[in-house]
Structure 1
Amino acid sequence: MTDRAAARAAKNTLASRFAADPGVAAVGLARQATDYVVRVDLTEADAGARVPADVDGVRVVTHVVGTVHAL
């Protein structure tokens, strides 16, 4: 079981790694069943190839959300 603190640390690692990547719209936490996971929102499906399946034992899931525009 992955706790919130471990997931938050993994999220911070990925957020730093992908801060300048135009294919990554956001990095956050999500719950799946009883575990926390890191969720990476992508602007394009091809960017998913650069995202690891896990970071420090915390599972990473990706979702293609498309381009994000300011309101």
Structure 2
Amino acid sequence: MGSMTDRASARAAKSALSARLATVPGVVGVGLARRDSGYVVKVDLADPGVASRVPGDVDGVRVVTEVVGVVRAL
């Protein structure tokens, strides 16, 4: 897996991962983030227990997680 992922590859991986995680309770968001000189897929979680359900990479694109808590509409 290369250290630099372009935006198009990261977007494709985000779409694939979003579909896989759509029904996983505790996943509150999936997006892109810049890391070093490229992009990663960032998965926001309601609690740390969900992290084990998230893969470390998708199609060669690194996946990172962050516990942000429960997201509620304003």
TM-score (norm 2): 0.92
Q: Quick one: distance in 2 between partners of 1:40 and 1:58?
A: 13
Choose from 18, 38, 46 the match for 1:15.
18
In the other structure, the counterpart of 1:24 is: 27
Misfit runs of 4+, over 4 Å: none
Identity of aligned residues (%): 63
1:30-49 to structure 2, matched below 5 A, reads: 30-49=33-52
Aligned pair count reads 71
Q: Quick one: distance in 2 between partners of 1:13 and 1:43?
A: 20
User: Shift of residue 22 of structure 1?
Assistant: 1.7
Deviations, residues 28-71 of structure 1 (Å, cap 9, x unaligned): 00001111000000001010000010011100000000001111
Q: Quick one: distance in 1 between partners of 2:57 and 2:24?
A: 18
Pairwise CA RMSD: 0.6
In the other structure, the counterpart of 1:51 is: 54
